[in-house]
């Protein structure tokens, strides 16, 4: 790289990373080529990305036992990662990246990726550590009675509408599932499949999973948080 271009690149990076810790600036002081600056930008991105992943894992840990919250946190993170990639492509849309955006492109795209990741980390941190007293900034308030994803803790009776109920018991590694519906009672044998129980009914494999009253799709259970769901319209809850 020509000396003048390197000076411009150094000045550009000084502005881009002015609000960052000294990780990048310390690295930048030692840079003598464009490639050196790319390495510095990559190191900074990796640091920020690791911080985001740490906040994400802490949030999942906080939500553990609340199946609905866990599911939605995971979905949101996957969608955000897709958004980050799409935003980078929107910012630099052409196929010939270096031809269109110059030799500084690898450094610039890492900078943008770092800034987006910092914003996401702030979102996750706000969810993890809500500001007390802020009505619209309450963060995640998990239901203490939310259904756990451990099927062994589902044993016992679960109540449905109009006198229906589900009874789960266990003998060795097999579950006994009694479903008392409006059509009568039926008993099935089930097995654990990680975070759900699988069983055969009418020649088809069905499953019991944790969820909320809203996820049952049943108006009688909408306000419930501690529920088991077989399918939409067939759910049972505990108070």
Mean pLDDT per block of 10 residues along the chain (239 residues) reads 42 44 65 81 93 91 80 95 97 91 91 96 86 62 65 91 94 94 94 92 93 89 89 90
Angle (CA) 159-160-166 rounded to 5° is: 60
Q: Are residues 189 and 228 in the same domain?
A: yes
Residue 176 and residue 178: Cα distance in Å, rounded?
7
- Give me the pLDDT at residue 62, please: 81
Residue 208 belongs to a domain: yes
Q: Are 114 and 46 in contact (CB under 8 A)?
A: no
Least Cα distance to 7 among 104, 111, 139 occurs for 104
Residue 139 belongs to a domain: no
Q: Are residues 219 and 102 in the same domain?
A: no
Domain count, the chain: 2
Residue 131 and residue 39: Cα distance in Å, rounded?
37
Least Cα distance to 236 among 224, 17, 169 occurs for 224
Q: Are residues 68 and 166 in the same domain?
A: no
Q: Are 173 and 185 in contact (CB under 8 A)?
A: no
Residue 125 and residue 199: Cα distance in Å, rounded?
40
Q: Which domain holds residue 92?
A: 3-128
Q: Are residues 77 and 117 in the same domain?
A: yes
Q: Are residues 107 and 166 in the same domain?
A: no
CA–CA distances in Å: residue 53 to residues 36, 74, 121, 168: 26, 12, 8, 37
Residue 137 belongs to a domain: no
**Ramachandran category for residue 194: left, alpha or beta (phi over 0 → left; psi -120 to 50 → alpha):** left
Residue 49 belongs to a domain: yes
Q: Are 137 and 125 in contact (CB under 8 A)?
A: no
Q: Are residues 115 and 182 in the same domain?
A: no
Residue 144's CB is within 10 A of a number of other CB atoms, namely 9
Residue 202 belongs to a domain: yes
Q: Are residues 14 and 65 in the same domain?
A: yes
- Give me the pLDDT at residue 225, please: 80
Q: Are residues 174 and 88 in the same domain?
A: no
- Give me the pLDDT at residue 21, please: 47
Residue 191 belongs to a domain: yes
Q: Are 185 and 199 in contact (CB under 8 A)?
A: no
Least Cα distance to 65 among 225, 229, 200 occurs for 225
Residue 144 belongs to a domain: no
- Give me the pLDDT at residue 15, please: 41
Q: Could you identify the residue written with the tokens 């031809």?
A: 99
Residue 142 belongs to a domain: no
- Give me the pLDDT at residue 38, please: 87
Q: State the pTM of this model.
A: 0.55
Q: Are 164 and 216 in contact (CB under 8 A)?
A: no
Q: Are residues 123 and 156 in the same domain?
A: no
């Amino acid at each position: 790289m020509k000396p003048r271009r390197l000076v411009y690149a150094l000045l550009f990076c000084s502005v881009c990373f002015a609000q960052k810790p000294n990780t990048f600036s310390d690295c930048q002081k030692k840079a003598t080529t464009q490639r050196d600056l790319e390495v510095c930008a990559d190191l900074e991105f990796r640091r920020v990305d690791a911080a985001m992943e740490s906040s994400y894992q802490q949030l999942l840990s906080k939500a553990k036992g609340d199946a609905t919250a866990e599911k939605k946190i995971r979905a949101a993170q996957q969608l955000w990662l897709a958004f980050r990639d799409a935003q980078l492509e929107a910012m630099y849309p052409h196929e010939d990246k270096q031809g269109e955006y110059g030799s500084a492109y690898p450094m610039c795209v890492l900078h943008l990726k770092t800034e987006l990741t910092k914003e996401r980390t702030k979102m996750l941190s706000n969810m993890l550590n809500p500001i007390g007293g802020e009505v619209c900034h309450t963060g995640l308030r998990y239901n203490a009675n939310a259904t756990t994803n451990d099927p062994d803790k589902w044993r016992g009776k679960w109540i449905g509408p109009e006198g229906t109920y589900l009874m789960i018991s266990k003998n060795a590694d097999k579950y006994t599932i009694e479903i008392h519906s409006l059509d009568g009672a039926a008993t099935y044998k089930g097995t654990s499949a990680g975070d759900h129980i699988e069983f055969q009914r009418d020649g088809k494999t069905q499953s019991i999973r944790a969820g909320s009253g809203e996820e049952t799709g049943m108006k009688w259970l909408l306000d419930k948080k501690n529920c088991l769901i077989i399918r939409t319209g067939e759910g049972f809850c505990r108070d």
